[in-house]
Structure 1
Amino acid sequence: MKTSADPVRDYLSAVGREASALPADRRRELLADLAEHIEVTRAERPHVTIGEVLAELGDPRTIAATALAEAGGGAAEAVGTPAGGGADAPARSGRVHPVVPLLMLTLPFLLASVFPHVPAVGFCSTLFRVIGAVLLCTSVHWSTGRKTAGVLLTAVLPTVAISIWTWSGAAPAGDTAATLANVAALALLAGTTAWLWRVRRA
């Protein structure tokens, strides 16, 4: 992509060209979402350069391929991506709706909190949260930094905190303390998933 006085305009123009197979209204929506994301990111992180913001968004071809795949437009054929892999892999993972990994990271913990003494629930909760973390990490809806923050806050931190709470003997006795700990963990999960939903890519 050529550099110019307005790299954002060049970037959006490149996405528009690559996504030319999309219906016009969907293409306008995609470009508007990207422009809004860039504007919000620059406002929230003024120390980050525009080049870094665009790099986090990813290659215009990949974004267009994902949008075409979600629209059922045959992304690989439309943008000339090899069917065996390469940029097609992000397009396939983009077909997973962004709400799926967020639910898989949050709801199992809620069930485990409601049924703490049922081993099967605890095992399934762990399994689903691992799958949710994998889906989050392989999704095209978030940048690498946001994926890392999401996994740390929804999977790693609660697990470490619970392990320390359970095995260190530092936990206060009584059901009230456990309930407060569960509420705090659920608040962290809910806040993180709400943030991830808000900053997701189109």
Structure 2
Amino acid sequence: MKTPTTSTDLVRDYLAAVEREASALPADRRRELVADLGEHIEVARAERPGAAPGEILAELGDPRTIAATALAEAGSGGAPAPVSGGAGVPVRRGRVHPLVPLLMLAVPYLVTTVLPDVPGLALCSGLVRIAGGVLLCTSVHWTPVRKIVGVLLSVVAPTVAGLVWRETTVAPAGDTPALVGNLVVLAVVVGASGWLWRARRA
């Protein structure tokens, strides 16, 4: 067998191996699987220009394993499951639109800033933010590093700042400082959501 001489050859041979191993899949599912893998490889190479193609392919996993997972899912009568490699890298697109977790992280802060005295609103806001953080962490639209930064900026940092503000004497008293503090937190959360939106995977 000819040894691949370029990174393009390596990727092409890898995808060809997946297609060959998944030959028992219906043609449309097989094409979709290969297309998703190819898309993920391109995104990974663009985000990590210094990484060797072989390293990225190794993270995806053995073509036989990927094909076996897709075949097993197809045999169960459901849609193909997300294909994960050795590093647990999901290949298929997430079913939740990337805008959903970002709105769930940002909108509650806006609502509680505008309506700070509504009973129970802070609790509901916190629950929505937690759900948004979970959706963000389980989405395939961001890398693990971006997910961590997004959760830190959108959930952890604002929560800690709120606790420090309410439970200590560090913050100045009065409605005006509280409003300014809320606006600063809102700006951070909206900025983080905007950054995540721009940094999302297609």
Query: Which TM-score bucket, shorter chain as reference?
Result: 0.5 to 0.7
Match of 2:183 in 1: 183
Cα root mean square deviation, aligned: 4.1
What is the SS of the residue equivalent to 1:184? helix
Match of 2:71 in 1: 80
Match of 2:114 in 1: 114
Aligned residues: 179
Mark the runs of 5 or more structure 2 residues left unpaired by the alignment.
83-89
* Matched-pair contact (CA < 8 Å) for 2:36–2:91: no
Report the TM-score when normalising by structure 1. Answer: 0.67
Match of 2:105 in 1: 105
Report the TM-score when normalising by structure 2. Answer: 0.67
How far apart, CA to CA, are the structure 2 residues paired with 1:60 and 1:183? 49
What is the SS of the residue equivalent to 1:21? helix
* Matched-pair contact (CA < 8 Å) for 2:108–2:129: yes
1:182 offset after TM fit, Å?
1.4
Query: What residue identity is the alignment partner of 2:105?
Result: L
Q: Percent identity?
A: 42
Match of 1:95 in 2: 95
How far apart, CA to CA, are the structure 2 residues paired with 1:101 and 1:55? 30
1:95 offset after TM fit, Å?
0.5
- Go from structure 1 to structure 2 and tell me whether the alpha carbon gap of 1:198 and 1:60 turns closer, same or farther (over 3 Å shift): farther
> Looking at CA atoms only, which structure, 1 or 2, has the larger radius of gyration?
2
* Matched-pair contact (CA < 8 Å) for 1:96–1:139: yes
Please list every run of at least 4 consecutive aligned residues from structure 1 whose deviation after the TM superposition is greater than 3 angstroms: 3-13, 15-18, 27-38, 48-56, 58-61, 89-93
How far apart, CA to CA, are the structure 2 residues paired with 1:185 and 1:51? 42
How far apart, CA to CA, are the structure 1 residues paired with 2:124 and 2:40? 36
Range with greater deviation from structure 2 (160-169 or 141-150): 141-150
How far apart, CA to CA, are the structure 2 residues paired with 1:164 and 1:51? 47
Match of 2:45 in 1: 38
1:174 offset after TM fit, Å?
2.4
* Matched-pair contact (CA < 8 Å) for 1:81–1:88: no
Residue 171 of structure 1 pairs with residue 171 of structure 2: yes
